[in-house]
Amino acid sequence: MAEGMGLLVGGRYRLIEPVGQGGMGRVWRSRDEVLDREVAVKEILLPPGVADEQRELLIGRMMREARAAARLNHPGIITVHDVVEHRGAPAIVMEFLSGTSLGVEIQRHGRLPVERAARIGTAMADALAAAHAAGVLHRDLKPDNVLLAGDRPVITDFGIAGMADATVLTLSGMAMGTPRYMAPEQIEGRPVAASDLWSLGATLYAAVEGVPPFDGPTLTAVYAAILTGEPRPAEHAGPLTVVLDVLLVKDPDQRADAEATGRALAQVLSELQAPAPPAPAPPEDTVAVPPAVETTLPSSPSTEPTRPAERADTPGRWSRRTVLFGGLGALAAVAAGTGVTAALWPEPSAGQADTAGRHGTGTQPSSPSPHVVRTATYARTLTGHTEWVTSVAFSPDGKTLATGSGDKTARLWDASTGSPVATLTGHAGIVQSVAFSPDGRTLATGSDAAMLWDVATARSTATLTGQKYSVNGVAFSPDGKTLATAAGEATVRLWNVADAGATATLTGHTSFLESVAFAPDGRTLATTSADGTARLWNASTGAATTTLRGHKGIVFSVAFSPDGRSVATAGDDKTVRLWDVATGRPTATLRGHTEAVKSVMFSPDGLTLASASGDKTVRLWEVSTGRSIVTLKGRFKQYSYSVAFSPDGKVLAATGDEVACMWTLD
């Protein structure tokens, strides 16, 4: 029988059996006798010979750290229920999870498949983002502190991380845990949030390579390697290599943050899950599909059970935040600034309505003769951008096309000829979104910040700053007086277009935002997020009215139907979903794409829906039946990002790779 078995800790936690032992403590499977539930109790082992004064200091610090960890509520972070004192040392009470650590998996298998490592890393980055937002650092992230509970990676030991930093190591004279995953600044006693990202990079490196990036025969040698050396070149990381390079930058100020890292890892995962490309074939110039369902698709939209939308109990909170960074654009900038030669995967784009690109939406100014699109004839390819084209929008009069790109520019084109009209420069990052004002005189672009441009002169008229991370979506209100911007900090900000002043910030999503759209009447705002939801808001008060749940993974795009009664959303789960705005209930799930759907848009008459996907295709759907009626291949070799109908509904534009493609519709 193990020593301590059967003891009652803290007056309520009965120790049943030991399930783990490490340099910093022993973990017991235990029973909470008050709530009658299984828990894990971690006894902290203080260094031997610690003076009473130092012991009190360490215990006090540990109790504070554990209480801070108890405030965290995230599926990727183990839940801390309680912290008590036991035998003169802290004991942390946590949820009990069955599984093995990532460290054990590496020991068993040598190295993990890159796809599995990317999936684990994506979850870890999301968990770190939540912890950092709450002001909690881990400071001892390593494979042994990542529990693989089925398909759920869970970071453990937030509550005892303070024991592992350089200050405590110096005080105790004892190496607690391993230093191989510590950031340079942490070894020097200066841990910051970016230190956890270094440790994440080192952990993922070990996962795909089987060994940590730095090692040595002695503790001093390991420290020296981390402080002055370069990591061993990764041989098995594949597309993860560039992310690892950015995370293992020695200057913490030049390291990517958790949200940007999560985006990059999610995109790497999407790339790895993509099917092998078929043998190249020239795209069809004309596609005509009879009004029948493709054999690989259901004959009607799926009506799978989905939880009803949740009505918000309280209005969305209004707040103001500052600070900068730039999502994946920042990762690319960091890579360039540190000599890393790599092309980070572009951020997935999302949809728009006729006056908004990628993530925006707007009113439908024209009233074309209603009919479901049956044929699409390839018209032209627009070339000129030097990086992926993320977004596209038609001007309200249909004469001008706007595109945004990873080359940090937006471009204006003659929509009838495809000729370039102007190149808009001034952004420091990827131009994620473009949107025309309802009068067509102003263009909004989203990147490191949002900018407003005079369309006639192609000159910038205002820069809207104040949101963290990149601006992923922009949308004008139907009256043109307000601009909504969706940012990586999980907020939507509303701006007065006349003076470029911020009027309000809407919060409620729990992860970065992807898109934003106004309803045609301007009363409702819709947003989508990496938290797996879309939300509807009262545009006047900022109150969150409805949460739309059903997608699995990131929701990239949202668009209102022209009558404002429906919204369409597109997600990482390869589906397009339709929702009733009045009730918030799902009405259909459209299946057929084989990769994440990045963008959706209704035709001006509302009878046809267009979607763009990472499977390199654009699909047209009959809204009334949910049938896929046309599949367009374009000139896309890697992705199709964004899609837009012309105001008269006769032309479709889509972007992918470094080009925009146009079709005439009938």
Longest dimension (CA), the chain: 86
Give residue 85's pLDDT.
80
Residues β-bridged to residue 392: 403
Report the pLDDT value the prediction gives residue 19, as an integer from 0 to 100: 86
pLDDT, residue 50, reads 67
**Could you report how far apart the first and last alpha carbons of the chain are, in Å?**
79
The more confidently predicted of residues 355 and 445 is: 445
Most confident of 32-41, 104-113, 223-232: 32-41
**pLDDT reading at 31 higher than 80:** yes
Confidence of residue 274 (pLDDT cuts 50, 70, 90): low
Please check the confidence at residue 591 and state whether its pLDDT lies above 90.
Answer: yes
- Give me the CATH topology for the region 1-273: Transferase(Phosphotransferase); domain 1 (1.10.510)
Confidence of residue 390 (pLDDT cuts 50, 70, 90): very high
Measured CA to CA, the distance from residue 386 to residue 249 in angstroms comes to 27
DSSP three-state, residue 352 = coil
Q: Encoding tokens for residue 242? A: 């560039």
Query: What's the CA gap between 344 and 339, in Å, rounded?
Result: 13
Q: Which two structure tokens, joined as six digits, stand for 290?
A: 């009879």
pLDDT of residue 69: 77
Q: What pLDDT is recorded for position 463?
A: 96
Does CATH place domain 286-645+659-665 in 2.40.40.20?
no
Domain boundaries along the sequence of the chain: 1-273, 286-645+659-665
Q: Provide the 10 A C-beta neighbour count for residue 394.
A: 27
Does residue 142 have a pLDDT over 50?
yes
Residue 201 pLDDT greater than 90, yes or no = yes
Higher-pLDDT residue of 53 and 546 is: 546
When pLDDT is cut at 50, 70 and 90, the band that residue 336 belongs to is: very low
d(CA 243, CA 237): 10
Percent of residues, the chain, with pLDDT higher than 90: 53
Return the top range by mean pLDDT from 42-46, 85-89, 616-620: 616-620
Higher pLDDT, 390 or 282: 390
Model confidence at 503: pLDDT above 60: yes
- According to the model, what pLDDT value does residue 23 have? 58
Catalytic residue among 32, 82, 126, 140: 140
Q: What is the reported pLDDT for 448?
A: 86
Q: Which residue has the higher pLDDT, 649 or 510?
A: 649
What is the average pLDDT across 597-624? Answer: 95
Measured from the Cβ of residue 56, the count of other Cβ atoms closer than 10 Å reads 12
Indicate whether 290 pLDDT > 50. no
| 3-class DSSP assignment, residue 523 | coil
pLDDT, position 234? 87
User: 258-273 and 193-209 helices cross at what angle (nearest 10)?
Assistant: 20
Are the beta carbons of 165 and 65 closer than 8 angstroms? no
Amino acid identity of residue 193, one-letter, is: A
Q: Which of 147-161, 286-300, 617-631 has the lowest mean pLDDT?
A: 286-300
**Residue 206 pLDDT > 90:** yes
For residues 117 and 22, the model is more confident at: 117
Instruction: Flag whether the pTM goes above 0.85.
Output: no
Taking the C-alpha atoms of residue 180 and residue 4, their distance in angstroms, rounded to an integer, is 32
Q: Which pLDDT band holds residue 588 (cuts at 50, 70, 90)?
A: very high
Question: Confidence class of residue 181 from pLDDT cuts 50, 70 and 90?
Answer: very high
Long-range contacts formed by 294-299: CB under 8 A, 24+ apart:
294/592, 294/628, 294/631, 296/592, 297/591, 297/592, 297/627, 297/628, 298/591, 298/626, 299/627
Average confidence (pLDDT) over 37-55: 78
Q: Is the pLDDT of residue 349 over 70?
A: no
Q: What is the average per-residue pLDDT within 211-225?
A: 86
Average pLDDT over residues 513-528: 96
**Is pLDDT at 276 greater than 80 in this prediction?**
no
**Burial classification of residue 279, based on how many CB atoms lie within 10 Å of its CB (0-12 exposed, 13-18 middle, 19 or more buried):** exposed
Confidence of residue 329 (pLDDT cuts 50, 70, 90): very low
Determine if residue 42 is labeled as part of a ligand binding site.
Answer: yes
pLDDT at residue number 275: 58
140 catalytic residue (yes or no):
yes
pLDDT score for 659: 94
